[in-house]
Structure 1
Amino acid sequence: MKHLAIFRIFISVSLLLCSAPLMAQMRLPNVISANMILQRNAQVPVWGWAAPGQQVRVAFAGQVKTVVAAADSAWHVKLATGNANSKPQVLSITAGKETKQLENILIGDVWLCSGQSNMNYAMDRTINNFAAPAKGADSAALAMKEPHPGIRIMKVEMQYDTPDVPSTGWHEAKGRIFERSSVVAFYFAKQLQAKLHIPIGIITSAWDGSRIEPWTPPIAYKNIPAFEEDIKKNSTAMDKEKEGRMYNSMIKPLGQFGLKGIIWYQGESNCMIEEQDMRYAYKMQAMVASWRKQFGAQLPFYYTLIAPYIYTEWRNGIPHTIETLPKFWEQQVAAAQIPGTAFVTTTDLVDVITDIHPSYKWVVGRRLANLALSKTYRQKGIPYLEPTYAHKKIEGDKLVLYFKNANGLKTRDGKSPDFFEIAGADGKYLSAQATIKGNTLVLQNADIKAPTEARFAWTQFAMPNLVNGDDLPMVPFRTNAVKWEYIP
């Protein structure tokens, strides 16, 4: 027994001695790495872990900050970044005898790009499926051969239950990591860089087929009346989907890393499972507020209306109709009442309606970039305003529609505007003949003598031809839309 006791003591001491260097080893989160872009003109956080009580020295661009690691090993400093800088710099971090030199760091703007598979859709998949040089595309194959020294990418992998974001950190836009990066995010960054002439960093954190609930921490639903009954149930699921699971591993560990803004391309999976008036809009409100709280700023949040697709073919117990999609669009449009948000439309960017991953994602990226350039960067002359319904006027057997941002109203194919319907007091909609009169539309149907309401693109098959003078598509609508009001 005496020998056994001595052996146990020996093993315990050996394990302690072996683990000591690991406990003392300095560690950084994956978002703090070589090749990264730090947000310009900001006090950006840099953090990590070292032995408790150990002094940590952080040096960058003439600044030196020292801090002592806390009892839980965590340490944190803030660095002033100043103006954009394309000259590679070195961030040096020393803890005890260990020094990490993070090289090739630029100063510019950083955007977080999230959502589901249409955001995650990779550059190399675009080469295989959509190589035709349509809609002003510059070949993805060519883009992957060209150097993009001012664009840096960080791809977060799809993985649950990780203490840090599952990623290999920051990379230059080249090689395999670039081939696997988001088409939408890259063309967003490329458009920004072309206009701003500064380094652009993109963090892509998206999950194929994901709903919005796992991207939102449960606490975010509190104080929103729409979720009062859900909260009373004291459940970790929202509409049968576990809350916060992707947020916890793919967003939360990013800490307060300095960002300029967020772009979001998601909704297909929620459209498949719910037809509850304005519930998705409230979920967007909860998620946007929680992300802004985490990153410590009222970040701009730009998103994409999902594209036409045959949701009636989706069999999951939900009674989908051809109106399921436009009702969902209505929620996405309503969510733009959230301050600092805006959206782009994609009804003109579909070739195959049976493909939930439509073509022309480079156009989606550019449209989102144009939103940012106009609304965040205040650049003039950028086409970003899509025509939207304003109000109606009844003139006998005709219905006249008025719009915002409709200057130069026209059709892409030179034909009459399509996908318009009108209804009388009985609420039965029939196809309407639509005539462009300046920046208004006149609708009529010989069988409806007293029209009262109209709707546009109110079907999952809608790929309408109506655009404004900037070739931006009309936003789907109905004149008797479900009302939603953002309440802070």
Structure 2
Amino acid sequence: MKIAKIITVVIFSIISLKTNAQSLKVASVFGDYMVLQREKKVPVWGTSTPKEKITVTFNGQSKSTKSDANGDWILYLDPLETSFKGKEMIVEGNEKLVIKDVLVGEVWICAGQSNMVMSYNSSAEVRGLVPLASNIRSFYVENKVALKEQKDAPGKWKITQPKSAVAFSFAYFLNNLGDVPVGIIQASWGSSSIEAWMPRAMTKELPIFNTIMKEFDADKERVARIQQLINKPNWTNQENIFLRRNSNIIYNAMMHPLIPFACRGLVWYQGERNTRYIAGFPDVDGENWFHRVSGMKDYDEVLKKWIETYRKRWNDNDMHFMVVMLPGYGKGTQKKQNIDIESPTEESWAWMRESQLSAMELPNVSVVNTIDLGDVKNIHPTDKLPIGQRTALLAAKKTLKLKGEAVGPTLKNVEVKDGELIVHFNHAEGLKTIDGKVPTGFWIADDTQNWVKANAKIQDEIVVLSSLEVKNPKYIRYAFAGKPTVNLVNSSELPAYPFRTDNWEE
């Protein structure tokens, strides 16, 4: 009996060991040809057999840790120096992994919806950069959804430029400006709302998102359909549209697995999906449930909370966010789609741009000005090259500390004098118009809020506004329209940022 017991115990122990054993793995965002972020601590993580000693060796460093009871492990490499020469990363436990040809440089996540998705093949100017590009690598996160936060995201590092026109042109110019390898992680999906990229935990901070997710959970039929489609190998176009219109589930599958991969920051080109309403929650039914997203004025708070949440999850307060302003477009909201594209009072994208600009109240946030770009009829304009250039300029200035102007004129203050409004700007050296004509896009009003086009003239680095129709002007709206005609720039030919002064008293 004793021998039988001993044999039983031995067999059970062997079975238990086999059950608990799992191969040594690194998270899917690590792989051959990757780029690691320089000048920051670099987390490396993965899974292994529980309580296994793990050692990571790279570029003369060797760091060790022990996996936990579930087999999860993470360790941190000390800040790395720039490296154009590919090196090996060795990960060792009971097994040995070799990750080949690893560079060290600037890593950025490029995320958002269709205008971030848009291929460089759709923009002739950006496509022309392909043969000139070097030292750019990319990791494309495949479009996936999940009902719970995932550990791994499907994708591989490649020695090639990202598919996105904006991401590629940004990487190209950043590489040139900084003389540094650039790694781009592209995570984008057309027509996705900001809520699609939000972790469920944000329901505790945002009542709007809390309502959305409560309705999501209550819709058993929708959840069941998502569950059914998750493992389906190929979606129809209708299924694809259905999945990307849901909140949270894109974050779970496409963004969460990237955390906390070391990066300099995130370029965010999103917002079109949230422009259907000026503010508040629309009434929805079974046919248009996907309209339950925050409106343009609500996007202000949502965007800032979203940025703060990502920084907490990455444990990186210095993580820089580059928000791409929505460019010119000629349609309004669901309430009124046909609008006067020059009017400062229509429910146009001007209100979304104002919300996007509010994100600069947070540290380490830049907004890429696109007010002179876009297409009145096409929500997917092809003029992506200037966006990449301006984003790279801002990144070089803000994160690489390179010299030079990276921002167009921004409002400093306004004086009222003898029936005129005198507008002072920051970043106004060499203030001029791009076409040599008088400045356009300025509207003024008195206390009646009856807006009229202003007569504008440049005097050194200020703009003087007046109108015979407004004797006592008080307020200004500049480029505050769906597709305004603008021409005001500084000596670097960077456009002036939109603004309105009637919100100073709100």
State the TM-score, normalizing by the size of structure 2. Answer: 0.80
* CA deviation after TM superposition for structure 1 residue 290, in Å: 1.0
Q: Distance in 2 between matches of 1:61 and 1:458?
A: 51
The 8 Å contact of residues 81 and 107 in structure 1, kept in 2 or not, is answered as no
Distance 1:414 1:218, change over 3 A: same
User: Number of paired residues?
Assistant: 444
- Paired letter, 1:374: K
* CA deviation after TM superposition for structure 1 residue 466, in Å: 1.4
Provide the secondary structure at the position in 1 that maps to 2:68: coil
* Range with bigger deviation, 51-60 or 24-33: 51-60
Q: Distance in 1 between matches of 2:359 and 2:34?
A: 32
Report the counterpart of residue 39 of structure 1 in structure 2.
Answer: 37
Matched, 1:409 2:431: yes
For residues 9-34 of structure 1, what are the alpha-carbon distances to aligned partners after superposition, in whole Å with 9 as ceiling and x for unaligned? xxxx9xx99x9599633333220101
Q: Distance in 1 between matches of 2:212 and 2:252?
A: 22
Q: Paired residue for 1:302, among 311, 317, 322?
A: 322
Report the counterpart of residue 145 of structure 2 in structure 1.
Answer: 160
The 8 Å contact of residues 480 and 500 in structure 2, kept in 1 or not, is answered as yes
- Paired letter, 1:439: E
Distance 1:80 1:401, change over 3 A: closer
- Paired letter, 2:50: P
Q: Paired residue for 1:347, among 363, 371, 378?
A: 371
The 8 Å contact of residues 154 and 167 in structure 1, kept in 2 or not, is answered as no
Distance 1:80 1:481, change over 3 A: same
Report the counterpart of residue 130 of structure 2 in structure 1.
Answer: 144
What is the RMSD computed on CA atoms of the aligned residues? Answer: 3.0
* CA deviation after TM superposition for structure 1 residue 317, in Å: 8.5
Matched, 1:359 2:344: no
Provide the secondary structure at the position in 1 that maps to 2:503: coil
Q: Paired residue for 2:307, among 284, 288, 291?
A: 288
Q: Distance in 1 between matches of 2:505 and 2:200?
A: 26
Q: Paired residue for 2:197, among 207, 215, 222?
A: 215
Q: Paired residue for 1:106, among 97, 103, 107?
A: 103
For residues 243-274 of structure 1, what are the alpha-carbon distances to aligned partners after superposition, in whole Å with 9 as ceiling and x for unaligned? 43222111111121111122211111112234
* CA deviation after TM superposition for structure 1 residue 222, in Å: 3.7
Q: Distance in 2 between matches of 1:69 and 1:193?
A: 37
Distance 1:389 1:73, change over 3 A: same
Question: Structure 2, unaligned stretches of length 5 or more?
Answer: 1-10, 220-244, 281-295, 340-344
Distance 1:255 1:398, change over 3 A: closer
Matched, 1:251 2:255: yes
Question: Structure 1, unaligned stretches of length 5 or more?
Answer: 1-12, 132-138
Report the counterpart of residue 443 of structure 2 in structure 1.
Answer: 421
Q: Distance in 1 between matches of 2:69 and 2:75?
A: 16
* CA deviation after TM superposition for structure 1 residue 221, in Å: 5.3
Q: Distance in 1 between matches of 2:353 and 2:67?
A: 49
**1:166-205 equivalence runs, <5 A:** 166-173=153-160, 178=161, 181-205=163-187
Matched, 1:434 2:456: yes
For residues 157-176 of structure 1, what are the alpha-carbon distances to aligned partners after superposition, in whole Å with 9 as ceiling and x for unaligned? 22111734543221111xxx
- Paired letter, 1:344: V
For residues 426-479 of structure 1, what are the alpha-carbon distances to aligned partners after superposition, in whole Å with 9 as ceiling and x for unaligned? 221112211112222222222222222221122212131111221111111122
* CA deviation after TM superposition for structure 1 residue 111, in Å: 1.3
State the TM-score, normalizing by the size of structure 1. Answer: 0.83
Distance 1:62 1:455, change over 3 A: closer
- Paired letter, 1:235: K
The 8 Å contact of residues 191 and 366 in structure 1, kept in 2 or not, is answered as yes
Report the counterpart of residue 50 of structure 1 in structure 2.
Answer: 48
Report the counterpart of residue 59 of structure 2 in structure 1.
Answer: 61
Report the counterpart of residue 400 of structure 1 in structure 2.
Answer: 422
Provide the secondary structure at the position in 2 that maps to 1:390: strand
* CA deviation after TM superposition for structure 1 residue 230, in Å: 6.4
For residues 173-196 of structure 1, what are the alpha-carbon distances to aligned partners after superposition, in whole Å with 9 as ceiling and x for unaligned? 1xxxx4x61222222222222122
Distance 1:61 1:469, change over 3 A: closer
Provide the secondary structure at the position in 1 that maps to 2:116: helix
Q: Distance in 2 between matches of 1:377 and 1:449?
A: 48
* CA deviation after TM superposition for structure 1 residue 322, in Å: 2.9
Q: Paired residue for 2:473, among 451, 470, 478?
A: 451
Provide the secondary structure at the position in 1 that maps to 2:413: strand
Distance 1:231 1:275, change over 3 A: closer
The 8 Å contact of residues 126 and 384 in structure 2, kept in 1 or not, is answered as no
For residues 257-297 of structure 1, what are the alpha-carbon distances to aligned partners after superposition, in whole Å with 9 as ceiling and x for unaligned? 11112221111111223435742111111111111111111
- Paired letter, 2:313: Q
* CA deviation after TM superposition for structure 1 residue 315, in Å: 4.0
**1:235-246 equivalence runs, <5 A:** 235=214, 243-246=247-250
Provide the secondary structure at the position in 1 that maps to 2:301: helix
Q: Distance in 1 between matches of 2:211 and 2:382?
A: 43
Q: Distance in 2 between matches of 1:322 and 1:386?
A: 25
Residue identity over aligned pairs, in percent, reads: 30
Q: Distance in 1 between matches of 2:85 and 2:63?
A: 22
Provide the secondary structure at the position in 2 that maps to 1:311: coil
Provide the secondary structure at the position in 1 that maps to 2:76: strand
Distance 1:100 1:478, change over 3 A: same
Q: Distance in 2 between matches of 1:386 and 1:282?
A: 25
Q: Paired residue for 2:25, among 24, 27, 46?
A: 27
The 8 Å contact of residues 41 and 82 in structure 1, kept in 2 or not, is answered as yes
The 8 Å contact of residues 39 and 80 in structure 2, kept in 1 or not, is answered as yes
For residues 383-402 of structure 1, what are the alpha-carbon distances to aligned partners after superposition, in whole Å with 9 as ceiling and x for unaligned? 21221222222333332222
* CA deviation after TM superposition for structure 1 residue 325, in Å: 1.5
Provide the secondary structure at the position in 1 that maps to 2:104: strand
Provide the secondary structure at the position in 1 that maps to 2:276: helix
The 8 Å contact of residues 217 and 243 in structure 1, kept in 2 or not, is answered as no
- Paired letter, 1:267: G
Q: Distance in 2 between matches of 1:230 and 1:75?
A: 32
Report the counterpart of residue 223 of structure 2 in structure 1.
Answer: none
The 8 Å contact of residues 418 and 465 in structure 1, kept in 2 or not, is answered as yes
- Paired letter, 1:144: V
The 8 Å contact of residues 218 and 236 in structure 1, kept in 2 or not, is answered as no
Report the counterpart of residue 5 of structure 1 in structure 2.
Answer: none
Distance 1:332 1:234, change over 3 A: closer
Q: Paired residue for 2:83, among 82, 85, 88?
A: 85
Q: Distance in 2 between matches of 1:190 and 1:375?
A: 17
Q: Distance in 1 between matches of 2:26 and 2:335?
A: 43
Q: Distance in 2 between matches of 1:316 and 1:30?
A: 44
